[in-house]
Structure 1
Amino acid sequence: MGPGLRNVKLCVVPFLLGARSCRSLLKARTLRKMTHKNSSSNGRNSSADGQYATMTEIKKKMLKSFGLEPGFTTEPKSREDLLKYQPKFEDLPARSMQDSFCSAIIPLSTNAVLQDKYINFRGFARLGRLLEDMDIFAAWCCNRHLKVPNLPEGVPLPYSLVTVLVDRIDFTSVSPQGTQDIRLSGHVSWVGTSSMEVVVWLEQIVNEEYQKITRALFLMAARNATNTAAAPVNPIQPANEEEKRILAGGTDRKKQRQLLIAQSVFKVEPNAEEQSLIYKLYKRTTPNEQTGPRRLLPPNCIWMHDSFQMSTIPSFPEHRNQNNTVFGGFLMRSALEISWATAFLYCKARPTLEHISDISFQKPVSVNSFIKMTAYVVYTQENYLQIMTVAEVLDAYTGNHVTTNTFHYTFSAPDAVTEVLPRSYHETMWYIHGRRKFIASRS
């Protein structure tokens, strides 16, 4: 991705309550606690976390915690024997947010191999790679939150963790350098019966102190050991007034998500303002006194069906998670990179990523799948582009397509961009939906 991630106007409560209001408080207190105390959750975490374990170490700990081993096998390791250890909700002790708080490092300053994986040709870190790590780190925070009483020593955690959605990702003006360490921090900020919200943020040293690059909210689902049913999670008992406010913000965010889903343009008709806009689009693209199907493209405009880019990606075992399905972070990286390329090709200039809206994970993706990524420019305004990227799984034998993920990105260009216009009613709904996403990203 390019440099110069701009500051965007961020929504206040409830979106940023977890990141801004508790970051310095929890970071100082929890790291101090973890440095002096060899605390653990089911004996699975050590004070090394407080000394900034690397993401490679975090991944190894995750595998060990779930009783998994690296390496390929034709038959995934059975975890059915762990079902007998599945706890009941009433048996799970409450946890505070400090219990799940931790930090980790991507050691780009000392690891040349990592630099090759993370850096782009301009010397900045690839945001897609960072999204992958944020997804893994969110799962690690959930892992730290879970505490099963009386779990025998050496028995793996009888859970599976699945990414349900990423609520929103906001960027600051800090451009991540590809040769300097990046620190991830986060904690569980809200829980339901079997779901956990995790706030994760990235920082890098600028002028001798850590500056925030981005932060995201992950909603994770807890499943049983065989990923066949929901599993209960530890409730949160706020440790102080700060944690109470964060927890209340998580409840508000859940209500906001439910409201947005209920009001989706794909479920209910556009509002009066949007219907008026649809009519104006029709008048702009229809010749005077024309009643037939012919459409007219105004100057300096492009039809939406000419604005897309597409790629088909085979997936491999290296992209799998502990459930032996495609890792959500890999999908996020792939979608972001094709979206950035689409924005670049559309505006014919290097774009700046401003905002990533909600990312939904609708269906698991098998590791032997072909993944079709299609990125459409669905809305433009001045020098901004709103891109919707759809991920589909292709069945090579039947030709069937199943949509598994949808991603929404806001990019900016150095200059005003060509206006994109819908031609069909279906595209018009995409246009209205993209306009809503853009307005939300700028509010």
Structure 2
Amino acid sequence: MQSQFKFLCHVPLGINVPKLLKRYLLSSTGNLPEGGVLTIQDTRKKLKDLVGAQLVWGSSTEGVTVPPVPLSQDDLPVKKMSDSFRKAIIPLGSKPGLKEKYINYYGGIRFGRILEDLDTFAVAVSYTHTLDPTCAERKSPLSIVTALVDRIELSQDGIVPNKDIMMSGKVTWAGKTSLEITMNLDQEVDNVWKRIMVAKFLMVARNPQTKGAAVINKLVPEGPEEESLFQKGERSKSDRMLESQKTLLKTAPNEEERVLIHDLFLQTIDPKAHTFKVRVKPLDSVWMEDTSLKTLVICMPEQRNLYNKIFGGFLMRQAFELAYANASLHCKTRPHIEVVDDIAFKKSVEVGSFLFLSSQIVYTEGSKFMVKVHAEVVNPSDETRETTNDFYFIFNTRNQSVPRVIPKTYAESMLYLDGKRHFDL
């Protein structure tokens, strides 16, 4: 089968990795030489084999031998950042036939496809960190899933659809049960590789039997550069805990935010009416309630991940493409994605779920604006809903201001402040 992706399983010089593990990571069909190339499809197949996943929906996994889940980090070998370093190529330039899958109707890149590849790559890097180098042929006892996508910022040059993309990544922080994957995307422009994106994913390890947390290998940074990366991961963990306590669902807006909301409210009052009940829309603005765009996705087995849940990359692509459509309707021109911020995976999505996605323009500033997408699983029997994800996307028209979005209710005002907080990070 013709390769569409190149997954370069690079083992840095000086790293003492047994040949058995190298052979497992580098071989796609069992007959590639050491130093060969894996496609992303073959990488997914290896990951399925590694966790004993169903190759076909509904098939049995009986007879699969899985080692016990470690109970203590002390039972696991300590890892270095270089142990998990990997590269992958998306050959949009060297294999032009692949462009059809990645190109949009403007002739630009489908960013949702990039999010899918990032999620797959993050899982592959995570398992590289947790693999037991002495037991490469055994199944991994862990389930590793995406918990959070941290802020992703794209370069102003964006991504072009006719040049190869180089993905590289490694574990830059690890706690007891979670690990941070830092990934860089580079693209060749004028014979020079340029950085186009940096992304951080927070992954968590789970025990498939108990559904609880599972311990992972400790990470020991080497040298000042790695120590700096590790400390950034520690600060990010602390910041997430702090932000969780400052959410508007738990804490009232601060004084500056209260003044902002009051000022917006006064701008919608008709001075001739002498009442708070008559509301008018300021010039060059839209009511927030009029910026909603929704869709429903029936989650099929085709979109499942290694653990028979819906693939996180698929959820991100669906959310982004809805946000992109809403952004286009709002600005009446081509929007450019600039930032993805704080995608939280609160609950796994089961195969067969009805996934309800609701997008809204929640904040605007000049030519830039924030689109929030809220994802819920809908129970068709009683119509109850449970939140699974929140997504934040910042778009930019780059050449014209967009209509201001104005909240009308207190709930919309909280959405406005929430969007502004993510926008200002």
Tell me the TM-score normalized by structure 2.
Answer: 0.89
Give a deviation string over 1:126-176, Cα, whole Å, max 9, x none: 11001001011001111000133764x632011101110001101013332
State the distance in 1 between where 2:209 and 2:151 align.
Answer: 29
Q: Confirm whether residue 269 of structure 1 aligns to residue 252 of structure 2.
A: yes
State the distance in 2 between where 1:317 and 1:402 align.
Answer: 21
SS at match of 1:77: coil
Q: Confirm whether residue 186 of structure 1 aligns to residue 186 of structure 2.
A: no
Q: Confirm whether residue 357 of structure 1 aligns to residue 337 of structure 2.
A: no
Equivalence for 1:239: 222
Pairwise CA distance, 1:210:
1.8
Pairwise CA distance, 1:122:
3.4
Say which of 374, 387, 391 aligns to 2:358: 374
Structure 1 range deviating more: 115-124 or 422-431: 115-124
Task: Identify which of structures 1 and 2 has the higher relative contact order when contacts are C-alpha pairs closer than 8 Å and 6+ apart.
Answer: 1
* Percentage of matched positions with identical amino acids: 34
Give a deviation string over 1:216-248, Cα, whole Å, max 9, x none: 110000012346111100001123232112111
Say which of 206, 227, 230 aligns to 2:213: 230
Equivalence for 1:56: 41
Give a deviation string over 1:39-90, Cα, whole Å, max 9, x none: 56597423889666332232122122222353222x5636995363545321
Q: Confirm whether residue 141 of structure 1 aligns to residue 125 of structure 2.
A: yes
Change (3 A) 1:378 1:262: same
Equivalence for 2:423: 438
Contact 1:83-1:226 at 8 Å conserved across structures: no
Pairwise CA distance, 1:434:
0.8
Equivalence for 2:153: 170
Say which of 213, 217, 220 aligns to 2:203: 220
Q: CA RMSD in A?
A: 2.5
State the distance in 2 between where 1:42 and 1:232 align.
Answer: 24
Say which of 166, 186, 189 aligns to 1:206: 189
Equivalence for 1:45: 25
State the distance in 1 between where 2:210 and 2:394 align.
Answer: 34
Change (3 A) 1:94 1:437: same
SS at match of 1:53: coil
Equivalence for 1:196: 179
Equivalence for 1:24: none
Change (3 A) 1:246 1:291: same
Pairwise CA distance, 1:358:
0.5
Equivalence for 2:5: none
Q: Which runs of 5+ in 1 are unaligned?
A: 1-29
Contact 2:178-2:202 at 8 Å conserved across structures: yes
Contact 1:160-1:222 at 8 Å conserved across structures: yes
Say which of 315, 337, 344 aligns to 2:328: 344
Say which of 259, 264, 267 aligns to 1:284: 267
State the distance in 2 between where 1:276 and 1:88 align.
Answer: 51
State the distance in 2 between where 1:426 and 1:164 align.
Answer: 27
Change (3 A) 1:149 1:132: closer
State the distance in 1 between where 2:376 and 2:260 align.
Answer: 30
Contact 2:108-2:160 at 8 Å conserved across structures: yes
- Code of the residue aligned with 2:204 in structure 1: it is A
Contact 1:49-1:102 at 8 Å conserved across structures: no
Pairwise CA distance, 1:177:
2.7
Change (3 A) 1:93 1:422: same
Alignment length (residue pairs): 409
State the distance in 2 between where 1:429 and 1:76 align.
Answer: 48
Say which of 402, 412, 417 aligns to 2:402: 417
Q: Which runs of 5+ in 2 are unaligned?
A: 1-9, 28-32
State the distance in 1 between where 2:127 and 2:15 align.
Answer: 19
Tell me the TM-score normalized by structure 1.
Answer: 0.86
SS at match of 2:151: strand
SS at match of 2:150: strand
Change (3 A) 1:38 1:234: closer
State the distance in 2 between where 1:348 and 1:227 align.
Answer: 50
Equivalence for 1:102: 86
Change (3 A) 1:143 1:42: farther
Give a deviation string over 1:170-222, Cα, whole Å, max 9, x none: 10133323233222110001011100110112222111132222121100000
- Code of the residue aligned with 1:425 in structure 2: it is Y
Contact 2:21-2:134 at 8 Å conserved across structures: no
